[in-house]
Amino acid sequence: MLLNGNTKKYIHSGMPFKARKKFVVICYDVTKTKLRKKVADELEKYGERANYSVFECMLTQGQLILLKEKLETIIDKRTDTILYYPLCVDCFAKMQKQPPVNIKRELVVAA
């Protein structure tokens, strides 16, 4: 049930909550190939790959918490790093990519 048309707060089980997602850029540096693949596989469930070790995700606060917890169980805390960059709506709207978004790039793997 919508509480107020100007806010994005809703009633669920008698408690108000915000139904909002945040844009989060997630970058990782994982040493071992097997663990790196697991991290990438998990991130692909939540967002799109922007670069080899960078994902763009639109997440609720709950999804972000669950994702962090899952990734923490995958990485080697002695050698690996994951960075989370939440972006505000204004910054998200100003984001630019080179080459432009409409140009498809393909990953070429040498045999």
Do the domain assignments include residue 60? yes
Listed range (25-39, 66-80, 95-109) with the worst mean pLDDT? 95-109
Q: What is the mean pLDDT of the chain?
A: 81
Helices of type H across the chain:
33-44, 61-74, 89-94
27 in Cβ contact with 85 (< 8 Å): yes
Asked if the model's pLDDT at residue 7 lies above 60, the reply is no
Do the domain assignments include residue 68? yes
Read off the pLDDT band of 46 (50, 70, 90): very high
Do the domain assignments include residue 49? yes
Please give the backbone phi and psi of residue 34, each rounded to the nearest 5 degrees, phi first: -60, -45
Do the domain assignments include residue 5? no
Q: What single DSSP character describes residue 91?
A: H
Do the domain assignments include residue 13? no
Q: Residue 68's closest CA among 33, 37, 28, 34? A: 28
Q: How many domains does the chain have?
A: 1
In percent, the amount of the chain with pLDDT more than 90 equals 59
Q: What single DSSP character describes residue 71?
A: H
Do the domain assignments include residue 102? no
Asked if the model's pLDDT at residue 67 lies above 50, the reply is yes
Do the domain assignments include residue 75? yes
Do the domain assignments include residue 106? no
What does pTM read for this prediction? 0.71
| CATH number where 62 lies | 3.30.70.240
Cis peptide bond prior to 100, omega within 30° of 0: no
87 lies in which domain range? 20-94
